[in-house]
Amino acid sequence: MCLALFSGSLDKLTAAGVILSGAAADDMEVDIYVLLQAARAFKKEIATNRDELKLAENTHLRKEFIESLDKLNVKQWHEFFKEAKELTNVKIHICGLAGKIWGGEKLEDFIDLADDIVGIGEYITAAEEADIHLFI
């Protein structure tokens, strides 16, 4: 599976995490390309701080959304990514341009789950080869 992760919103990142978990249960190989807004969310100081992340839709319901997630014992978005990496072959590639836009030049600027910083050519090749391709 190839996932182009553009969104840096809490709801879409959570959805991506749930989809990723399904792929992990199936032992799929997954390549995630972290693009523009998502690259900000993957920065070390942002990823674990929910206050930094907005909702993509129904933004006025953010508080209720977070309360529901907690009540249902739903993991934090980055914990889904971590667990999937433990279960299957998931590679997380940060788009070099996106990283720079948010002041992330090096791999160390992003959470430990990130595997490398890449150019768009790698994404196109992965998308071409994957059976499932998603843009979130």
Partner 1 sequence: MNEEELKAISVDKSVDARGTACPGPLLAAKKAIAEISSGQIMEILSADEGTRKDIPKWAAKKGHEYLGTVEDSGYFKIYMKKG
Shorter beta-carbon distance to partner 1: residue 24 or 47: 24
Which residues have C-beta within 8 Å of that of residue 6, sequence separation ≥ 6?
Answer: 35, 36, 37, 38, 135, 136
Which 3 state secondary structure label does DSSP give 54? coil
The 27-66 site mask, x for binding partner 1 (CB under 8 A), equals x---------------------------------------
Shorter beta-carbon distance to partner 1: residue 113 or 117: 113
Binder among 51, 63, 73, 128 for partner 1 (CB under 8 A): 73
Of the ranges 6-14, 31-39, 72-80, 121-129, which one interacts with partner 1 (CB under 8 A)? 72-80
Calculate the CA 6 to chain-centre distance: 8
The length of the chain is 136
Task: Check if the beta carbon of residue 21 is closer than 8 Å to that of residue 65.
Answer: no
Of the ranges 14-22, 58-66, 102-110, 112-120, which one interacts with partner 1 (CB under 8 A)? 14-22
Calculate the CA 58 to chain-centre distance: 20
Contact residues: partner 1, CB under 8 A: 18, 21-22, 24-27, 72-74, 83, 87
